Structure 1
């Protein structure tokens, strides 16, 4: 587990770096609250999922009660859903639910088809919610911009009456998106919070992610903290696996190193003998083919009583057939054998 002291050192270092870089940054008309990011590195690629995993934080990233919070919700207005925009807006006003914009599914299909309209919609709100029943339809309708900026709508069960509770819980949670790789980036704190609150959020996010991820701490490789333009500072690093697998042959548990070497040499010698045998077998194949040819010649000439073949004619035919059927490699082998016989 990551120690709180280590997290405090990393947070202090990042805040000092941010203060040193503040005079180099250009002033903006609308000041945006900077975020602190936690980089999660896993040992194995997890199962890909579209919906984010909620990790509770003690200090929320978005305060639903504040005026700066802009929350948008997509509702299902199909006939089977039994929900209309007027009924949803009445419930939001009566229960004081912090939703600033309601968009119907039919309007999302027609008015937000162009890329520019989708980009403006993504940048206009801090967080998006959607009816649980239309979540599978949203990736095609929203486009890549929502996935790049990690603003995928959080599913809400609108059949239940606790809309406000579900929305407030999502606002006070860090969203973990398990993609197709081993690294995930999670927003864990705002820099407008105090140092103590930032550290508490980071520790809570680390422990919460470790409990949610498959295999828990066994699947986590490292945690790093960073700002948008800073270096990533390590907070937690797992020890590498140094397991050595010793494969021993059956019946050779008490064998000495010299005996093992001898066994290897014997195996190599056996392999060489097998190669030699294969070469000899090739020569035998040619001899068998020749014998078959000779038998065919004898069978063809057995019916004729007058035409008899002498031994000289057989030897001449044997040489001709051998020269025709032998391959260049076999010819070389034959020449080497002749030279050895002459030398001996």
Structure 2
């Protein structure tokens, strides 16, 4: 059962949530709030200095400035995965980062696209945010050049894709989309079509954990227009789902939970990383290899690589035999 938290009043009269346990494997809400206040103050002062200097962004709309993103950096003791995953983990935030009234969405679906176009057109809630629906075949045929892909990426705020075709998109849209984190297509389930509206709403409310072959990862948890309390609540929601193994994240959470986590930091694109939590021990006793274990692991890895090589060889031979049989017929 989760540990209960006591509500205590600070000297200023504000309420703060403090854990009743002295365990080091938990998030200190006071530290999160302190870091959020310091970071938002730094972003505000930096923006004021930029507005006074000659290096002001002339392309930015002064009446509707673009807020800066607040990031949560997670550093693990072990790799979460050894390959890059194209399907990130969805984490619903109590304070969403996107405004449904101003966000424009391009929806990429499996052929045929007419079913989804008709559904969007007949649903006012969907047509208000989904401005374009395009099938994979038309995406491949109409957007072959780099310039056409760049124009498509700049035309919409968010790209959602049917999870059945998400693995095909890197070869179709290329680095024009995948070199910018804000344009990477986000997978959603559109089957059956009746759940499309709920899936789109959840995508607008969520942040995503993209996993690569690395020991660190970053998530968007706030904007510079948020209050420190809003940033803190979003951080707590992410930690609860990713670190503490909450429902919905499953196998993409931190291996070992808190004991598998090395550090948590909060930062903006141009600021230093402010620590939220640091591990007292960098490795557990089970992480230290004993006598002969290194050789055993090396032997297992050699066997695995040989099996992968053999499977690829058989697959290649099967394709060759299929091609030859078609040519003979």
In structure 2, distance between residues paired with 1:2 and 1:145? 38
Match of 1:52? 88
Per-residue deviation at 1:59?
1.0
Please tell me whether the aligned partners of residues 4 and 199 of structure 1 are also in contact (alpha carbons under 8 angstroms): yes
1:1-344 counterparts in 2 under 5 A?
Answer: 1-25=26-50, 26-27=56-57, 28-30=59-61, 31-47=65-81, 48=83, 49-64=85-100, 66=101, 68-77=102-111, 83-85=112-114, 87-95=115-123, 96-97=125-126, 98-150=129-181, 151-160=183-192, 161-210=194-243, 211=245, 212=249, 213=253, 214-240=255-281, 241=283, 243=285
In structure 1, distance between residues paired with 2:176 and 2:266? 24
In structure 1, distance between residues paired with 2:131 and 2:142? 18
Please tell me whether the aligned partners of residues 56 and 208 of structure 1 are also in contact (alpha carbons under 8 angstroms): no
Q: Structure 2: which 5+ residue stretches go unaligned?
A: 1-25, 51-55, 292-329
TM-score, with length taken from structure 1:
0.65
In structure 2, distance between residues paired with 1:36 and 1:146? 22
Note the alpha carbon deviations across 1:168-225, whole angstroms, 9 max, x for none: 1121111000101111111111222222212111221122221241322232111111
In structure 2, distance between residues paired with 1:93 and 1:148? 31
Number of residues paired by the alignment? 240
Per-residue deviation at 1:242?
6.9
Please tell me whether the aligned partners of residues 44 and 219 of structure 1 are also in contact (alpha carbons under 8 angstroms): yes
Higher strand share: 2
Per-residue deviation at 1:157?
2.4
> 43-52 or 114-123: which moved more?
114-123
In structure 2, distance between residues paired with 1:24 and 1:116? 36
Note the alpha carbon deviations across 1:257-315, whole angstroms, 9 max, x for none: xxxxxxxxxxxxxxxxxxxxxxxxxxxxxxxxxxxxxxxxxxxxxxxxxxxxxxxxxxx
- SS of aligned partner of 2:211: coil
- SS of aligned partner of 2:49: coil
- SS of aligned partner of 2:91: strand
Note the alpha carbon deviations across 1:145-179, whole angstroms, 9 max, x for none: 42332232222222211101011112111100010
- SS of aligned partner of 1:133: coil
Q: Structure 1: which 5+ residue stretches go unaligned?
A: 78-82, 249-344
Note the alpha carbon deviations across 1:37-79, whole angstroms, 9 max, x for none: 1111111112232111011210111122x1x2011111222xx
Higher helix share: 1
Q: CA, structure 1 residues 180+123, in 2 after alignment: closer, same or farther (shift >3 Å)?
A: farther
> 155-164 or 5-14: which moved more?
155-164
Q: Rg: which structure is higher?
A: 1
